[in-house]
Chains A and B, each alone.
Chain A
Amino acid sequence: MSYGQRGIMFTATMLGTNTAEATATMPVSATYNGNGKKPNDITVRRNGLRNLNRLTSAIFFVLCLTFCFSATIEAKMKGRCRDCHSMHASIPFPVLTKGGCVGCHGQAPDGVQNVIKIGKTRVPQILHHMKDGDLASGNFYYVAVGYNPDYTKGHNVTGISYPESIPTMNIPPGFIGNVVIPGGKGPVEWPVEIQLTCSGTWGCHGNRTIYDPYLSVYTAHHTHNGEIDGSTVGKSYRFLYGIKGVEHPDWEYEATVHYHNGYKGDFNHNTLDTISYLCGECHGKFHPNPNLGGAKDVGFANFTTWVRHPADIAFSSVHGGFATSEYLDYSIYSLESPVAYFNPTGRETVVNADSIVMCMSCHRAHASPYPDALRWDYSQITTSDVRREGCLICHTRKGGHE
């Protein structure tokens, strides 16, 4: 249940008692998520060894890494069986869960907790009413039946929302059938009577080649998943099969510029493991990967003007080059408009030419307070806006001037 309890965090706090030059001023925390780079930014690596006995330091460092690595491979959800499962429930749900996906992850829609802790298990809530508590994916509260839903603001998921009544939204916008997805092919077509589900063929999470939503994520919550390499559902970013990334342990609640989700991007468009590709599995026409919309529906980097806003595109590939572009001024990571990285760590603070624009740069995965599940109110973003919010975080020269 608690996605964030995986991808173990080993926080090595090294107080610099003997390494004054290196770390005396502040504790240094290093988080190694297994699929990211090693914590090379730990200052002690650069300076500390000069002042410590080299052998002792080396051993200490190796031990730290060893412990870190061992902790990583031990990562696994911990919690009492009874907290999530009921063996003989009066109202049974698949996999003996207490209410299915939403029963655990939306157990208190009126409640004010975005993460509910039951025993040792922390369960992220995708449907709640906590003020300023929306997690990285947003909050289905904005589209949930019974809470004055506005279906323009998010995905209409079975069990949370009714099907979209607008005919053009009976199928995912930009849908392309039979596209390549991890493990096989996506559905050839999306029947209008099919409503979006949390997982499975008609959902986002789990193995989408498996029709049954629960089978598609079967055992994922109990997988040893220290390394998120996309090889299994359990080892995929947020159980989005095949997708890589680094998971913030609190689902980005109170995330900082220094510590956030690490999104996987790839501007080569020859892999299936980026967060934007996952979106493109249903919204194919919005992704430039040749498996999906490609050049026809999105356009070519460095070659043509875009037909639709691209995703999985690095700033380096913009027309005219990055050095003279407006994107140069987006230099510090923004939680409001995050970017993806080729090898994400979740610790990136710098945005540069290699940073990658992704679907999540503008949208929330589940729902947001704004139309189109955007991270901001598109209707309020104007070229005269001097606050440089929303679109203007990247398109820095489109805004107004103070």
Chain B
Amino acid sequence: MKWKIIIVKIILPCALFFLLYLPKGYGTIISDDCGACHGLYPGMMEEASPGEPQKYVLQNLLCVNCHSGAGRDTIKILGGVKVPLVNNTMMPVNLLAGGNFYYVVSGFSDRRGHNVNGITSPDAKFGSTPPGYDSESDSSVIGYNTNKPLACAGSNGCHGNRNVENPFVAIKGAHHADDSPVDGSTTAKSYRYLKNTNKVKGVLGLEDQDWGQNSSLKKHNEYSPSMDNFCASCHGNFYRKDKIGKMSPWFRHPAGIILPKRDEYMYYNPNVPPPADKPDIRMYSPDAPVARDVIPDAPSELVKPGTDIVFCLSCHVAHASPNESMLRWDYDAIVSGEAGGGCLICHTGKGE
């Protein structure tokens, strides 16, 4: 009798909890309010005629509309589901890890972010050609079409299947698919739905449940160097070894290289000293994050020079930032020989 009580009241509920929740990623949208997302426009919810595609109204804009906010908050609730906002109409507070397209929209500068269709017009300088684009580095069979604008997803975008031109089709189903583990096997199981094509493994990583909002030493995304390969799909010349060099002296700033365990790099994030008993360890900086070959199960506050990896997002954010070149910091304000963060978080010897 006693065992039955234990089984019914303790073990069974626990098992149910794990079965129902843990195998599914937190990102899988489970909501009984379909209309919150799919009823934004008249006709969206209507059944399509047999053999006809669904009537996704304003397809690419649907991404923008769901992930935009009228206020300053960067997470909103839609149909009971938390939705990360990448585009605020007011200056956002508590930016998410990808930044916010507000900075390329609101009269700031093309140089502060990706010029995504539906959010802003193409870049005045680069047009629709990604700087450093190299078709050999792009695994998409369609490739980037420089005659068309950058999109959220699809062959001219970042998210979803880049072998599909239509942005909405490229990511279709991902929001409702089983999204764990993040092993890169499907779009849904790829970090932030970043999976170039079906033939290549998606980006890996550990997704902060608040998309990096209020990230800190102990709470942040964990990145994989696979992110570099992904960025290189459109900016290959900034990643290819024959374009940046194979070793110091580099010709372009390298990505996907191990933070050296020597010289100035051993003092990564000098403003946050490591524990006295771990002299070879440095403390993680959300202002200049590193990637890791082995993604930890939980965000790690430690950085290991000689192991952890400098990658594209060590300096840049993915969407847009308050700073030129989508940097995490104001490059103009970083002065060698003076105190400061930014570049000097890694290049500690160039500081004071």
The residues of A with any CB-CB pair to B shorter than 8 Å are: 74, 76-82, 87-89, 92-96, 119-120, 212, 214-215, 218-219, 222
Contacts and interface: CB of A to CB of B under 8 A. Distances in A.
B249 A88 contact: no
B334 A88 contact: no
Interface string B122-157: 000000000110000000000000000000000000
B108 interface: no
Residue of B235, B251, B332, B350 most packed against chain A (CB within 10 A): B251
Interface of B: 131-132, 235, 237-238, 243-245, 248-253, 263-264, 315, 325, 331-338, 343, 349-350, 352
14 contacts: A78-B338, A80-B336, A81-B331, A81-B334, A81-B335, A81-B350, A87-B315, A88-B237, A88-B252, A93-B251, A94-B249, A215-B248, A215-B249, A218-B248
Contacts of B349: 219, 222
Given A92-B243, A219-B349, A222-B350, A81 B336 contact: yes
Given A82-B331, A88-B132, A92-B244, A76 B249 contact: no
Contacts of A80: 331-336
A76 B337 contact: yes
A214 B251 CA distance: 11
Q: Interface of chain A, helix or strand or loop or mixed?
A: loop
Nearest to A74: B352
Given A81-B331, A222-B349, A96 B337 contact: no
B91 to A, nearest CB: 25
A214 B350 CA distance: 17
Given A96-B250, A218-B249, 5 more contacts: A77-B336, A81-B335, A82-B334, A94-B245, A94-B249
Nearest to B235: A88
A95 B250 contact: yes
Q: Which 6 A-B pairs give the minimum distances between C-beta atoms?
A: A78-B337, A92-B251, A94-B249, A214-B249, A87-B253, A76-B337
A77 B337 contact: yes
A88 B333 CA distance: 19
Contacts of B334: 80-82
B310 to A, nearest CB: 12
A345 to B, nearest CB: 25
A80 B249 CA distance: 20
A279 B337 CA distance: 31
Nearest to A222: B350
A87 B238 CA distance: 9
A78 B337 CA distance: 5
Nearest to A86: B252
A120 B335 contact: yes
Contacts of B335: 78-81, 119-120
Contacts of A218: 248-249
Given A88-B131, A92-B244, A81 B343 contact: yes
A78 B333 CA distance: 12
Contacts of B333: 80
Contacts of A76: 336-337, 352
